[in-house]
Amino acid sequence: MPTGIFNAGYPVLGRSPAPYLYRPSQWSDNVFWVKCVEESGGDLVVSTFVQSLNDYNPILLFCQDRPGILNAATEYVSAVMTDDNADTFTVPLWHFWETDIFQVINAAIAPVTNLITNPVPAAPADGQRITAETATNGVEVSGHLFGVDIQNRDLETALGADLEPNLRVLLVGQSGVQAGPNSTGELVAYDGSGPTFGPADAVILAESDYTQAIRDAGNVVVAGNGTFRVVGIHHATQVA
């Protein structure tokens, strides 16, 4: 049944037909553009990743159906470059689309085991949802399992160390009814002044920070810098 223009302007709970809720997890999201984050000092902050170690970063997405469009972008802040004359200059912000993002069909090997344990099925078919437990806190989760291989672009800091990018993911699912959270691709926080932002921006949370309490709250986490909707979990430590 198409949603039709009669849904325009209505809040999510007032739309007809309602977004499909996958049971027992009640995850309806299938459209989002979000950053990978982790907890630090009570706030959610962007996670940083390693430029390629010839491996991949596993991500479990809490989407209601398999992705029709899935992509990932890395963001580098303050990259120092050297030109042919040995002169250096700083690029304050640089974005790259990552071309190597793929479904993981063997969910029982490293580095996936850093993210989840006891996956069912252990070898998911194309587009198949899996259920598992998070590696750190043993929370039952279900979703679609992917890996993102971040290319090595030899970008460095002013001190000559490898620059570690943050990562954001774009997903458009194949479900008949489109549904998604407030999804700006940024960590939107209300500072107490000016306009009030929407109720919950969306994030992919580090699996070590994902708890049973967050799941029981409908995948909503309240941090010092705002309230956020969790649409997936990630693990940033690669296995060389």
Q: d(Cα 107, Cα 228) in Å, to the nearest integer?
A: 27
Within a domain: residue 17? no
Q: What is the mean pLDDT of residues 105-123?
A: 93
Q: Does pLDDT of 22 surpass 70? A: no
Q: What confidence category does residue 19 fall into, taking pLDDT thresholds of 50, 70 and 90?
A: low
Q: What is the mean pLDDT of residues 21-36?
A: 77
Q: Does pLDDT of 2 surpass 50? A: no
Q: What confidence category does residue 233 fall into, taking pLDDT thresholds of 50, 70 and 90?
A: very high
Question: Measured in Å, how far apart are the chain's first and last C-alpha atoms?
Answer: 48
CA angle 137/52/127 to nearest 5° reads 60
Count of domains forming the chain: 1
Average pLDDT, the chain: 83
What pLDDT sits at residue 114? 92
Q: What percent of the chain has pLDDT over 90?
A: 40
Q: Does pLDDT of 225 surpass 60? A: yes
Q: d(Cα 30, Cα 69) in Å, to the nearest integer?
A: 10
Higher pLDDT pick, 87 / 116: 116
Handedness of CA 221, 225, 227, 228 (dihedral sign): negative
Q: Does pLDDT of 217 surpass 80? A: yes
Q: Which of 177, 175, 176, 225 lies closest to 203, judged by CA?
A: 225
Domain that holds residue 142: 29-234
Within a domain: residue 205? yes
Within a domain: residue 151? yes
Q: What is the mean pLDDT of residues 69-97?
A: 84
Within a domain: residue 8? no
Q: Do 116 and 107 contact (CB within 8 A), yes or no?
A: yes
Q: d(Cα 2, Cα 29) in Å, to the nearest integer?
A: 17
pTM: predicted TM-score of the whole model, two decimal places: 0.85
Q: What confidence category does residue 239 fall into, taking pLDDT thresholds of 50, 70 and 90?
A: very low
Taking residue 98's Cβ as centre, other Cβ atoms within 10 Å add up to 18
Q: Is 158 exposed, middle or buried (0-12, 13-18, 19+ CB in 10 A)?
A: exposed
What pLDDT sits at residue 20? 62
Within a domain: residue 22? no
Within a domain: residue 67? yes
Quick check: helix, strand or coil at residue 131?
A: strand
Q: Does pLDDT of 86 surpass 90? A: no
Q: d(Cα 168, Cα 65) in Å, to the nearest integer?
A: 19
Within a domain: residue 5? no
Q: What confidence category does residue 12 fall into, taking pLDDT thresholds of 50, 70 and 90?
A: low
Take residue 145 and report the two structure tokens written for it. Answer: 């399992």
Within a domain: residue 20? no
Q: Does pLDDT of 240 surpass 50? A: no
Q: d(Cα 216, Cα 28) in Å, to the nearest integer?
A: 15
Q: What is the mean pLDDT of residues 109-130?
A: 92
